[in-house]
Structure 1
Amino acid sequence: MFKKILKIVSIILLVLLIGLYTLFTIFTAPKSDEAILKAYEKSNIQPNLTHERYKDFLYRKISIQNDTVLPTLVFVHGTIGSLNDFSKYMADSLLQSKFNMIAYDRIGYNYEDKNSVQESIAFENEMLLDLIKELPKEKVVLVGYSYGGPIALSVKEKLKKIILLAPAVHSTVEPMPWMLNFYKWKITRWLVPKVWKQASKEKISHREDLKKFESNWNITPNKVVSIHGTSDWIVPYENSKMLEEQFDEEQFNLVDLDKGNHGLVWSNFDFIKEQLLKYAD
């Protein structure tokens, strides 16, 4: 009887694990164009979703063009991430009235992307500069989240503002979660969903790549704001504290989110929206 019960329990647990894995894979996979646009069904202004080319790469860009006089928020997502991370901001009526807005999928994170992540802040910098080349730079506000933080901060052209959200900018405080071993170990790599393989590659190489930039973050003509949760363990708060030490106080402003975590883009939407609105004029 005990063996029968154990067998039944084992089967139930296995089914639950397979179900959770399937849901996790579906939930975190890049969304189709149709799924992306569903987030804007009630939006006052309908966005324009386009497929762009940079060098030999195709990527998606979503944009809301309200008025050419307005400044433009350009959102740069992290690892793992997509242009969909910022849909709540781009669909917000007040933000729409104050800004034009752009978000895009970085290479390796596009829907059914056949390309691999480039594992290079320098490459991401060049791609971002290509994306904003037609915009008046004095009206561009870059918003870089997580891995998108160093990409935004690496831009040395004079802009309206650079806003960092939990930026991963210093190698010495770059954690390597144990779960990365599932990607590192060949015997378990097959279990890792495709987009998470891309994120794992980028995460593993990020620490070394940061060393090429981290001592020179303050060599920029731009004023920088960093918003960071004090309880963030994925990208520790120390990242922003170390940035604060590099910059003069008139050029850098650190905004603490007391007990905030790495999901601040979603969990602290109202607060971040309020911060963005400060740079609407």
Structure 2
Amino acid sequence: MHQNTIRFLLLSFLLIPFFSGCFSFRDSEKSLHKLMEKEDASFDINYFEKYSLRWLWYENQDKDAPILLFIHGAPGSSSAFLSYIQEDTLRKDFSILIIDRLGYGYSDYGNYQPIPDQFEAIDTLMKEVRENNQKVYTVGHSYGGTIAGYTAIQDPDWLTGTIMIAPALDPEQEKYLWFGKLALYKSTRWMVSKSLRVAADEKYSHEEELRTFVNDWGQINSPILHIHGDKDGLVPYGNIEFSEEKIPGKWLKTKTITGEGHLLPFTEKELMIKEILQFIRQS
């Protein structure tokens, strides 16, 4: 047997407990309630039965306050943005909505759904939540940024502006990681958590999906901000050039975070909040 194959198999079996047990990337209702008590920052836990979609909701006392809609990446869940829904700087002026994307968290967990279906679920939810014609700004990270961008292309009447953080947009720049194959092959798929399986299904269909709307970015008709770290090792920084080439200049703003990588919402939270607020003020 080839030496590299042996190493791959040995590493795979060593990682079984790690991948299968530790990587669900989600918090139960019990965990969320404990968090609310600890941080003294309450929010509602809701379920949208039509799409088996779980969403977290902080409603500002001002019923006309703009809504921030956070869309997580892959793998992940609403847990990725829990620190944002607790952030006083945001709660003061906004209502905040965070979803478990389809396939993740407690939204049809373990079942891959393509980008158009992800958008359809979000679109339907927002039409029900937005009772007072509030402005809505999407904030998407990584694959969630891709979905936020696709949403901007669809131009729903509820959308006011879009913030994409390290989004994968250019099919020519898709990167694939070796451990993603563990979740693809039948012989090893059982080793990994459902969340990682969905992430792999998304990743290995992403390039083809991006090609289906690669020429539609010119349809964007609302303000959009693309933030990217120039040291991003997961989603190439070159995606920002794709945005500059494809998205109408009258709507697009870009922001390079020098020396930073892919996990900007977590490593640069204060800066991301600053960029969100500045974008909204200038939109």
TM-score (structure 2 length as normaliser): 0.85
* Letter of the 2:80 counterpart: D
Secondary structure of the structure 2 residue equivalent to 1:198:
helix
Alignment-derived partner of residue 215 in structure 1: 215
Q: For residues 158-184 of structure 1, give each alpha carbon's deviation from its aligned partner in whole angstroms, at most 9, with x where no partner exists.
A: 532100011111111111111122123
**CA contact 1:53–1:59 (8 Å) conserved in 2:** yes
The 1-side partners of 2:116 and 2:226 are apart by 21
| Structure with max Cα Rg | 1
* Letter of the 2:101 counterpart: R
**CA contact 2:72–2:78 (8 Å) conserved in 1:** yes
Secondary structure of the structure 2 residue equivalent to 1:215:
coil
Alignment-derived partner of residue 186 in structure 2: 186
**CA contact 2:102–2:109 (8 Å) conserved in 1:** no
**CA contact 1:43–1:92 (8 Å) conserved in 2:** no
Secondary structure of the structure 2 residue equivalent to 1:278:
helix
Alignment-derived partner of residue 156 in structure 2: 157
1:79 aligns with 2:78: no
* Letter of the 2:119 counterpart: N
1:126 aligns with 2:120: yes
The 2-side partners of 1:245 and 1:181 are apart by 32
Aligned CA distance change for structure 1 residues 68 and 43 (closer, same or farther; 3 Å): farther
1:45 CA drift (Å): 4.2
**CA contact 1:75–1:142 (8 Å) conserved in 2:** yes
**CA contact 2:73–2:141 (8 Å) conserved in 1:** yes
1:37 aligns with 2:30: no
Q: For residues 44-91 of structure 1, give each alpha carbon's deviation from its aligned partner in whole angstroms, at most 9, with x where no partner exists.
A: 54100011123xx31211000012121110011111110111111110
Paired residue for 1:47, among 31, 43, 50? Answer: 43
* Letter of the 1:257 counterpart: I
Alignment-derived partner of residue 3 in structure 2: none
The 1-side partners of 2:148 and 2:241 are apart by 18
The 1-side partners of 2:56 and 2:245 are apart by 35
Structure 2 unmatched runs, 5+: 1-9
Aligned CA distance change for structure 1 residues 68 and 208 (closer, same or farther; 3 Å): same
Taking only the aligned residue pairs, the percentage that are identical comes to 30
Aligned CA distance change for structure 1 residues 174 and 23 (closer, same or farther; 3 Å): closer
Secondary structure of the structure 1 residue equivalent to 2:261:
coil
Alignment-derived partner of residue 106 in structure 1: 101
Secondary structure of the structure 2 residue equivalent to 1:227:
strand
Alignment-derived partner of residue 144 in structure 1: 140
The 2-side partners of 1:196 and 1:261 are apart by 21
**CA contact 1:90–1:101 (8 Å) conserved in 2:** yes
1:62 aligns with 2:56: yes
Say how many residue pairs are matched: 264
1:114 CA drift (Å): 5.1
Secondary structure of the structure 2 residue equivalent to 1:38:
helix
Secondary structure of the structure 2 residue equivalent to 1:150:
helix
* Letter of the 1:111 counterpart: Y
**CA contact 1:157–1:221 (8 Å) conserved in 2:** no
Aligned CA distance change for structure 1 residues 279 and 184 (closer, same or farther; 3 Å): closer
1:261 aligns with 2:253: no
The 1-side partners of 2:102 and 2:171 are apart by 22
Structure 1 unmatched runs, 5+: 1-12
Please give the residue correspondences for 1:19-30 in structure 2 after superposition, counting only pairs within 5 Å: 21-22=17-18, 25-30=21-26
42-51 or 196-205: which moved more?
42-51
Q: For residues 123-164 of structure 1, give each alpha carbon's deviation from its aligned partner in whole angstroms, at most 9, with x where no partner exists.
A: 111111111113255610011111111211222125321000
* Letter of the 1:21 counterpart: P
1:198 aligns with 2:193: no
The 2-side partners of 1:270 and 1:115 are apart by 32
CA RMSD of aligned residues (A): 2.4
1:278 CA drift (Å): 2.0
Aligned CA distance change for structure 1 residues 246 and 41 (closer, same or farther; 3 Å): same
Alignment-derived partner of residue 9 in structure 1: none
Paired residue for 1:117, among 112, 115, 128? Answer: 112
Secondary structure of the structure 1 residue equivalent to 2:156:
coil
The 2-side partners of 1:112 and 1:46 are apart by 21
